[in-house]
């Protein structure tokens, strides 16, 4: 088991190195460097001025050397300085990650239990009316990306001209369409919409996986064994089916995290919540090399750690492949 984890850590490290190098290379492409120079110094520089600025700031040294320097810095805990925010990268990333952490926390709290419940209820009796209704809901929710559901939800709950607000209130809106203030204090009013937007998209996918898994388990021979043993239906579902049915969705939930990153970026942009996703957009549109690199490390780590957890969890849930 230990060796397995070590092996996985090795692969993770290699992946992180490869990916950060690709990001480094992309951000150091000629057009991006030119953009950076004009951004930092003067938008109307001539080509010669750009060249000398780049030369002067060390951007003309060999790529590998500079990448090596950056990696060396990271190993010593120095993530560099952001060229947009003019602050140490570590400080920015830490702060913004905290905000996003809250968002993710609430999204998970809302999304996972409801998705599992929908999936189990639908898969329990395949083909029933409950199943059809819940399945259609889950399909609809996977078909609605955040930028669509966000728009619809804002119109419904946070538009002074349309949706539900004018019906119930004389002035103002039911919920806030902007979540900027949530970095100071989270309230239902300012956080409900971003959380709902994100949870809705992921929910359908997990629910469908759970349903498929549950439906498959319910047709298994051992469920028939239990039924013919005289076990009652609720007891079959809870004691015999549930654990087997949750193995597959667990992996899916874990692999859902990296997908949530795109969602985070969209939602934070849409609701102007200044978390990690919002920072990533700022860094990318300004070619803030060192901030981007750190963002990519964080993203890659999230992906790889969740993969690791999903593998370990899969083994833990499934006694069949437990190490003998």
Partner 1 sequence: MTDTDDTPILEIDKLSISFFTQGGEIPAVMDFSCTVRPGEALGLVGESGCGKSTVALGVMQDLGRNGRITGGSIRFRGRDLTSLNAAELRRIRGNEIAMIYQEPMASLNPAMKIGRQLMEVPMIHQGASAAEARALALEVVEAVRLPDPERMLRAYPHQLSGGQQQRIVIAMALMSKPSLLILDEPTTALDVTVEAGIVELVKDLGARFGTSMLFISHNLGLVLETCDRLCVMYSGEAVERGSIADVFDRMRHPYTQGLFRSIPLPGADKNARPLVAIPGNFPLPHERPPGCNFGPRCDYFQAGRCDAAPVPMADVPGDDRHETRCLRHDEIDWLAGPVASADTEPVTPGDVVLSVRELRKYYEVAGSAFGTGEARVVKANESVTLEAREAETLAIVGESGCGKSTLAKLLLGLETATAGSITLAGEEIQDIAVEARDRGTVSSIQMVFQNPFDTLNPSHSVGAQIMRVLELFGVGNSTAERRERMLELLDMVKLPRAFASRMPRQLSGGQKQRIGIARAFAGTPKVVVADEPVSALDVSVQAAVTELLTEIQRRNRTTMLFISHDLSIVRYLADRVMVMYLGHVVEIGTTDEVFSPPYHPYTEALLSAVPIADTSVVKKHVVLEGDIPSAMNPPPGCPFQTRCPRKAEVPGDRCETEVPPLRDLGHGHGVKCHLSREVLDGMEPVIRIA
Partner 2 sequence: MEPLSWGGILSGILVAFWPVWAGLAVIFAGSYAARRHLGLYGKLFSSPIGLIGLALVLFWALTALFAPQIAPFAPLEQIAALKNKVPGTPVPDSGGLYYLLGGDNLARDVFSRMVWGSQSVLIIAPAATLIAFMAGIILGLPAGYFGGRLDTALSFLANLVLAFPVILLFYLLVTPEIAREPMVSLGGLGLSLPQMMAAVLFLFPLVFVVMLLRTRFGRRPAQLAPRLGLALVVGLWAYFGLAFNADPLGVLYMDPFLLNIFVSVVFVNSPTVFRIVRGLTMDIKTRDYVSAAQTRGEGPWYIMLWEILPNARGPLIVDFCLRIGYTTILFGTLGFFGLGISPESPTWGMTINEGRRLLSVYPHAAIAPAVALMSLVLGLNLLADGLREQSLKD
Q: Where along the sequence are the contacts to partner 2 (CB under 8 A)?
A: 11, 15, 18-19, 22-23, 26-27, 29-32, 34-35, 135-136, 139-140, 142-145, 147-148, 150-152, 154-155, 158-163, 173, 177, 258, 261-262, 265-266, 269-270, 277, 280-281, 284-285, 292, 295-296, 299-300, 303-304
Measure Cα distances from 52 to 36, 38, 59, 65, 181 in Å: 13, 12, 10, 19, 43
Exposed, middle or buried: residue 280 (CB in 10 Å: 0-12, 13-18, 19+)? Answer: buried
Does residue 228 touch partner 1 according to CB under 8 A?
Answer: yes
Q: How far is the CB of 216 from partner 1 (least distance, A)?
A: 13
Residues 1-20 that bind partner 1 (CB under 8 A): 1, 3-4, 7
Q: How far is the CB of 112 from partner 1 (least distance, A)?
A: 20
Stretch that binds partner 1, among 110-118, 218-226, 255-263, 299-307 (CB under 8 A): 218-226
Exposed, middle or buried: residue 214 (CB in 10 Å: 0-12, 13-18, 19+)? Answer: buried
Does residue 230 touch partner 1 according to CB under 8 A?
Answer: yes
| Residue 253: how many other CB atoms lie within 10 Å | 24
Binder among 225, 238, 285, 301 for partner 1 (CB under 8 A): 225
Site string for partner 1, 17-46 (x = CB under 8 A): ------------------------------
Length, in residues, of the chain: 324
319 token code pair? 């006694």
Count the helices and strands in the chain (H runs, E runs): 14, 0
Residue with smaller CB distance to partner 1, 1 or 43: 1
Binder among 60, 87, 132, 224 for partner 1 (CB under 8 A): 224
Among candidate residues 217, 177, 215, the one with its CA nearest the CA of residue 197: 177
For residue 88, the cross-strand partners are 81
């Amino acid at each position: 088991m230990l060796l397995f984890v070590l092996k996985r850590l090795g692969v993770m490290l290699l992946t992180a190195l490869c990916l950060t190098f690709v990001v480094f290379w992309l951000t150091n492409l000629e057009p991006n460097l030119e953009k950076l120079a004009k951004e930092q110094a003067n938008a109307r520089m001539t080509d010669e001025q750009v060249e000398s600025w780049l030369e002067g700031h060390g951007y003309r040294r060999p790529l590998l050397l500079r990448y090596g320097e950056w990696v060396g810095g990271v190993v010593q805990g120095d993530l560099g300085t952001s060229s947009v925010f003019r602050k140490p990268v570590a400080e920015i990333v830490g702060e913004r990650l905290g905000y996003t952490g809250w968002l993710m926390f609430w999204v998970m709290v809302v999304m996972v239990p409801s998705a599992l419940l929908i999936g189990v209820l639908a898969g329990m009796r395949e083909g029933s009316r409950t199943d059809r209704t819940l399945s259609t809901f889950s399909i609809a929710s996977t078909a609605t990306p955040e930028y669509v559901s966000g728009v619809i939800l804002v119109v419904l709950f946070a538009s002074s001209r349309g949706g539900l607000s004018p019906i119930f209130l004389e002035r103002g809106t039911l919920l806030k369409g902007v979540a900027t203030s949530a970095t100071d204090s989270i309230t239902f009013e300012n956080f409900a919409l971003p959380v709902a937007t994100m949870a809705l998209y992921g929910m359908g996918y997990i629910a469908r996986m759970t349903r498929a898994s549950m439906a498959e388990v319910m047709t298994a021979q051992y469920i028939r064994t239990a039924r013919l043993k005289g076990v009652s239906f609720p007891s079959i579902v809870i004691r015999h089916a549930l654990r087997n049915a949750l193995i597959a969705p667990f992996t899916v939930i874990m692999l859902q995290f990296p997908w949530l990153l795109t969602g985070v970026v969209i939602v934070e942009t849409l609701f102007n919540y200044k978390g990690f996703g919002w920072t990533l957009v700022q860094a990318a549109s300004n070619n803030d090399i060192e901030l981007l690199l750190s963002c990519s490390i964080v993203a890659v780590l999230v992906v790889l750690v969740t993969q690791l957890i999903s593998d370990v969890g899969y083994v833990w849930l499934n006694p069949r492949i437990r190490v003998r």
